[in-house]
Chains A and B, each alone.
Chain A
Amino acid sequence: MPFNITVLPSGNAAKAQETFLHLIHDKPFVLLVVMGDDEDAEQLKARAALVAGGPQDLRRVVWMKNPDNHRQQIAALEVGPELARKLNGPNVLAFTTSHDDAICDVIERSEAPVKFGRIIDSFAAGEE
């Protein structure tokens, strides 16, 4: 697994939550959090890892295979009304958190297969 991807264990909710919490609040990263364990998620995760850059860059990809483990954690994050609507809908594929730990972008499944331009834009939303 590339160095810039963190896979949250789907079978150990406590461990997954602890890891996610650590990445969100303790690390200065812009996180692109891929949700689900299907082909779209797999493909997005692989592409996002390329866009996340090198070890010195402050971008990371989080693969949240079982989003149900993190519903409360996600709900606790700061998010605008428009993105919240998308985030709470059935089609969410990924979201991005900014340096300030706020959700700044949501990628929906209707956008799959997600192109590089869209992934760059999503990371950039967290860096802007």
Chain B
Amino acid sequence: MIRRAFLAALLATVLGACSAPAPAVFAFSGPPAGDEGLHVTSLTKDGQILVSFSLADGLTGELRRAIDSGLPATITYVVELRRPESLWFDRTVATATVTATVRFDNLTRQHQLSRTIDGRGEEPRVTEEEEDVRTWLTAFDRLPLFSTAQLEANSVYYVKVRAYARPRLNGSLFWPWDRGGKTGYTPRFTYIG
């Protein structure tokens, strides 16, 4: 019996580790302070929740070196619209995934930029400007990620954004999963309806 229980616990640990590329973040009774550097704001307009976020220092030296080496670098933002719960974990109302990818061609010295929102690609761009790359990877303005149809009137919500970069340059021998992800939250807002 003990052997079975131990094997079950072992299997659950392994499966949990396999199914969680990024550590889950649980929020009790509202958004915590979040990580410095990931600033998130939201705006409700025309039936859409427009989410803006910027990742200061997102283009780290390591990521810059990876880009310069020609590796495609991607920053993935998992944006969650959440509803606080008083006695339980906050409920996730909707989730959107935004990715920004840059690939540097050392021959032409041009950066090829691309973005996807929930898998839908935008028009790629080419630039030679470092600042354009930084902005492309780290700044997103008023993305219409959620519809207000999913919200309940007079209810409180907030938006949580988790950001993590690829390639992983800090993967260790025994723990290959991300340890450098950042999380940001909007202040709570009440949807009037």
Q: Do A and B come from one complex?
A: no
Query: Which residues of B approach A to under 8 Å, CB–CB?
Result: none
